[in-house]
Every structure is written in structure tokens, then in C-alpha cells.
Amino acid sequence: MNAENNKLLWARIEQLNTIGIALSAEQHTPRLLEMILLGAKKITQADGGSIYSVSKEKKEVQLEIMRTDSLNFAMGGTTGTPVPQQPIPLYQENGQPNDRFIVTTAVLQKKTIAISDAYATEAFDFSGTHEFDKKNNYHSCSFLTIPMRNHEDDVIGVLQLINARSEETGKVIAFTEADRHLAKSLTSQAAMALTNRRLIDEQKKLFNSFIKLIAAAIDEKSPYTGSHCKRVPLLTKMLAEAADRTQAGAFKEFTLTEEHYYELEVASWLHDCGKITTPEHVMDKSTKLETIVDRIDAICGRIEVLKRDAKIIMQEQIIKALQQGNNSNIPSYKMRCKEQLTQLSDDQAFLRKHNSGGEFMRSEDQARIRQIGSYTWQNEQGDEQPLLSEDEIKNLCIQRGTLNERERQVINNHVSATIKMLHSLPFPKSLRNVPKYAGSHHECPNGSGYPNSLSGDEFPIPGRILAIADIFEALTDGSRPYKKGMPISQALKILESMKNDNRIDPDLFELFISEKIYLEYARCHLDAAQIDIT
């Protein structure tokens, strides 16, 4: 008989080791709790059981998961059925320990409590148990309640097992001494696994907060792109999920695990972190002529000088004609002056208009800028100078946006800075592609992008997804200083043109359209006036 008992005991110890190994590998907290409870029930032959979490901050215990085999009853864990029970306070309203309940007592006294018959003891309040039994035609008898203590000897949870069953007869019996030792051993391993899981979750939470702190810092640095770092991750996720769902065509082999999604999410939050190094006067350049101040006002002042000079010349001509007794030319002087003033006012309005930037400037408009720049005026010293300097002409002729080539290189450098910054971080294996994805959001499939001119397989699908999200958000964002947020139709036309030139991934663009991701995003994040197609 002893040999048989020893054999059973060793089998249970082997089960304990197997469960312990499985616990150390599990990364999902609900599944981890479920494994702890199921494992404990198995090695003690318990019919039912529960696991409670302990909140030191709130000073309460919360039922997280429960199982009863004979009732086929399961709540919490991976069941999808939430546990409805309210938290149990560890202390009464007068501040005294709440020792009415077996669970709270196990926490407060940090001790294992075994009850052979819940209906034959008055040590604890089992009214809730009795109510459950009555409702479900059950009889809760033996209890084994074990606190889970971490490496700092804090109780982080409670394992409670109900109704041990005899292996020979199947009848409910009290938990044996061997049951207690095995369950306590499992609880110790479980506490370690839970602590490790919590530490990992807390580190991840800290890391996520740090990521969003960087994004917030960029937003604070440039109020004009304040929502960009927050919205690009949303668009990225929408398009990535659509590609993952589409198990056909170009995305037949494309799948994203939970880890892959998180890796792409981190990359999308950090894709512009290099803008921390970009000078504010370049990042926030709201007009073509803006430096410390907008130079358009100085130019318009020069034009006012030309208007004044035109009026003076007209007055001088009229006076001279009157002195000579020749009034016949006076109307032509006035007409010429009026035409000059009208032209100068028109030139003034033209310069202001094109100083604001935009998506495209015609070559004929650039030619007119140069023509206006060739006008001459006299400064305060009486020196005759061109109306516009070479630098002013160069800036006013910027074809797209407000940045000249030198400033655009400064802006473009933010991607190189992003890559350099992210490569300096010791990312774990699961996040090793973050620098690659974040650093490729300005690359193009045809190899014309920057900073590395990636193409083909060098430009991974997650990076291509991020690139489209970055472009569409920028086109439709209404907070940029040099343009209004585009309506959806216009933004999609620009994306289509980029697709035709192979500057964005054609398959992803078609998916963006067919799944109406643009519309899903617009309804949540754009002004209603921008939604001009459905």
C-alpha cells in the first residue's frame, strides 16, 4: 500500500513540475491564472476552486477566476464570461482587519487555512457560499485557502480550492497534508510566475508611457503637427489589420502575430522621434518667406514705396505741365499712375498668395515672381536695388509647401536622426524591427525615397503601411500652417498619383480604398466638411 501511495505521490510531484514549467512560459495573465487554478485542482483532486487578486492600493481582494467541474461552471480567465462578484475589503469601516471571510484572513495573516466542512464551522462567514450552493444545488464542504506571496513577502493573490475528492471513491473529503504541501509548492511557483508577469507588464506600461512622452514632446515642440504622432498609429493599425485579414493576392503570406502588431505600433509612435533634433524655425515655417519674422511684410513695404514714387512722379509731371501751360498730357499721367498702382497692388496680392505655400506652383507663376523681383526701388540711402533678393525669389518660387531645398534637407534629416536614435536603444528580440519600420516611412517602392532609397524586399510591408498612413494623415491634417486639411477626394487623388508612380505600395493603396479605411478614419478624426466621398 505504501508503495502504491508513493507512486501516486511521485506522479503528483511530476505533475507539479510539469505545471511549473508551463507557468514560466505563459505570457498572458488570464491564461496564467487559469493554468494555476486548473493545475492546483488537478494535483489535489479538487472539484472546484477560485483565484483572487490582491490590491494593496485599494486594500481589497477581487475574484478573478472560478471553476467547478461537477457543475460545468467556469467564469473568468479565457472563458469570456466576467466574474460578477464585488471586491471584498481587507479592512472594515472602523479600520479593523476584516477577519469575517476566509480569503481576507488568509491575506491579512499570510497563512494557509484548511476547512474540512464549511457547514460545521463558525470561524468564518460562509453565507455567500451557502447562497451559491442553494442556487446551484451544490454542497461546498472542504476548503483549502492559500495566500500567494511574492519575493518581497507581499500577498499578491489567493488560491482557494473546494471539495477534494477521493481517488478511490470520488467522494468529497478533507484536503490531506500532502494536498496542502503540493498546493503550497504550486502556489509559490505561481506567485513567482505572476510576479514576473506583473513586472514585465509594468515595464511594458512604462515603455509605452515613455514612447508617448516622446510623441508628446514632439507635439509640444510643433503645435502645427500636434496630432500627427497620435493619429499615424491609428491609421497604421487600421491598414495593418486589413492586410492581415486579406489572405489573398499580395497579402496571402502576410500575417501579424500579437507581437508583430505591438512592434509596428511602437514603430508608428516613434517614427518621427528624430524631429526632436529639427530646429523649430524650420519645422514650424508657416510661409515661404518666414525666418524669425515673415519677410513678406518688408517686401510689401517696398511695393508701397514704389506706389509712393509713382504718385510723386505723376504729381511732378502734372506740376511741370501746368507750369508750361500744357494741360493736354495730364489725363495720360493720371491714367499711367493709376495703372501702375493697380499693377503694384495686384503684384502685392500675388506675392502674399504664393507666400502661403501649397501643394503645387505653376511654372508661369514662378516666372511672374522673377519678373516682379526685377523691379527696382530706392532704399533709405537712395541706392537703387532689385525689389526682391535672390534668396527671396528662391523661397517664393518653392513649388510645394514652404520649405526651400536646404530646409527640406534639414527636415528630411529627421528620418536619419530617428534611425540613429532607435538603433542606439537595446530593443528586445520581439522589437528588433522597430528602427527599420520607423526609419522607412519616407521610402518609396521605386527606390526614390529617403534616406536609404529602399526598394523591393528591402522595403518591408510594415514600413510601406506606415508610409501610407504618414502621407494620408499629413494631407488631411487641418492644423498645418501652410495649407488647409484636404477633403478626402483630393487626398486620395494624390495617393493614386503616387501609386501610379510607384511611390507608395499599389496593393496597399488598393486595400486602403477597397476596405474604406480612409472613411473609417475620417469619420472619427476629420472635420465633416472634409468627408466629400463615401
**Number of residues that this document lists for the chain:** 534
CATH number of 2-200: 3.30.450.40
Burial call 444-465: b when 16+ CB within 10 Å, e when fewer: bbeeebebbebeeeebebbbbb
Per-residue pLDDT of the chain (534 residues; tens, 9 = 90+): 455 555 565 566 666 566 665 666 556 677 777 888 888 898 889 999 999 999 888 899 999 999 999 999 999 888 888 888 889 999 999 999 999 999 999 999 999 999 999 999 989 999 999 999 999 999 999 999 999 898 888 998 999 999 999 988 889 999 999 889 888 888 887 788 788 778 888 888 999 998 988 888 877 776 656 578 889 999 999 999 999 999 888 898 899 999 999 999 999 999 988 888 777 666 666 677 777 677 888 888 888 888 998 899 999 988 988 888 888 888 898 999 999 999 999 999 999 888 887 767 889 999 999 999 999 988 888 888 999 989 888 888 888 887 777 877 877 788 889 999 999 999 999 999 999 999 999 999 999 999 999 998 899 999 999 999 999 998 998 766 556 788 999 999 999 999 999 999 999 999 999 999 999 999 999 999 999 988
Cα(435)–Cα(207) distance, integer angstroms: 16
- Cell reading at 526: 476629420
CATH number of 222-278+406-530: 1.10.3210.10
Rounded to whole angstroms, what are the CA distances from 368 to 188, 350, 391?
Answer: 81, 9, 16
Cα(333)–Cα(310) distance, integer angstroms: 10
Per-residue pLDDT, 355: 86
CA atoms within 13 A on the CB side of 245: 10
Per-residue pLDDT, 31: 79
Per-residue pLDDT, 1: 44
Contacts of 81 (CB under 8 A, 6+ apart): 74, 75
| H or E element at residue 68 | strand 60-68
Say which residue the cell 491579512 belongs to: 108
Nearest Cα to Cα of residue 95 among 82, 80, 108? 108
Contact 479, 225 (CB under 8 A): yes
Contact 221, 280 (CB under 8 A): yes
Cα(180)–Cα(112) distance, integer angstroms: 8
Say which residue the cell 486639411 belongs to: 485
**β partners of residue 51:** 65, 159
Which amino acid, 197? R
- Cell reading at 124: 468564518
Alpha-helix residue ranges (DSSP H) falling in 374-404: 390-396
Per-residue pLDDT, 375: 92
Nearest Cα to Cα of residue 44 among 138, 129, 125, 112? 112
Per-residue pLDDT, 15: 64
- Cell reading at 287: 510661409
How is residue 290 annotated by DSSP? Answer: B
Nearest Cα to Cα of residue 242 among 525, 465, 491? 465
Residue ranges of the domains in the chain?
2-200, 222-278+406-530, 296-401
Cα(127)–Cα(477) distance, integer angstroms: 60
